[in-house]
Amino acid sequence: MLNAPKSSSMQYLEDLGTKKVVGDTSMDILKDQPEEWDLIITNIPFDYQIKLPILRKLVEFDKPFIIIMNSLNTFSKYFHEIFKDHFEDLQIITPSSKINFDKLLDTGELKPTKRCSFYCVYVCYKLKLPADQLWVK
């Protein structure tokens, strides 16, 4: 997590049947690292100034991760620079439709959004999935 106190991600993973979900919604991935972990699953911020250090840190950890990103990021110069020595460890999962997100309102309430203006993909690292590019039906 990247200091996301309102995140419901851990509950979503448990609802999907994941046996052991460990998370800390107050952890800042740029400053902290869990003592014991197998996989990071997160939706990193879209802000360029925040996203780049997080991507670099994830590669530095050199452990499996799944992150949601705007699909256009995979074509960017910075993405190719960060992963240049690790492309054999990258895989992309392409959802069948746009992913919609919850928006944090000024009142502190989370409101589901509709009609997201961009397409996202799941960028996977060191998961050794059966295909390099996976298309979800």
pLDDT tens, position by position, 19-65: 778 777 777 888 888 778 888 888 888 898 999 999 999 999 999 99
The answer to whether residue 22 sits within a structural domain is no
The answer to whether residue 62 sits within a structural domain is yes
The answer to whether residue 46 sits within a structural domain is yes
Higher pLDDT, residue 18 or 62: 62
The answer to whether residue 68 sits within a structural domain is yes
pLDDT recorded at residue 34: 76
Its domain, for residue 115, covers 37-135
The answer to whether residue 73 sits within a structural domain is yes
Q: Distance between alpha carbon 59 and the CA centroid of its chain, in Å? A: 13
State the pTM of this model: 0.81
pLDDT recorded at residue 1: 42
The answer to whether residue 84 sits within a structural domain is yes
In angstroms and rounded to an integer, the radius of gyration of the C-alpha atoms of the chain is 15
* Rounded Cα distance, 125 and 132, in Å: 11
Question: Does residue 12 sit in helix, strand or coil?
Answer: helix
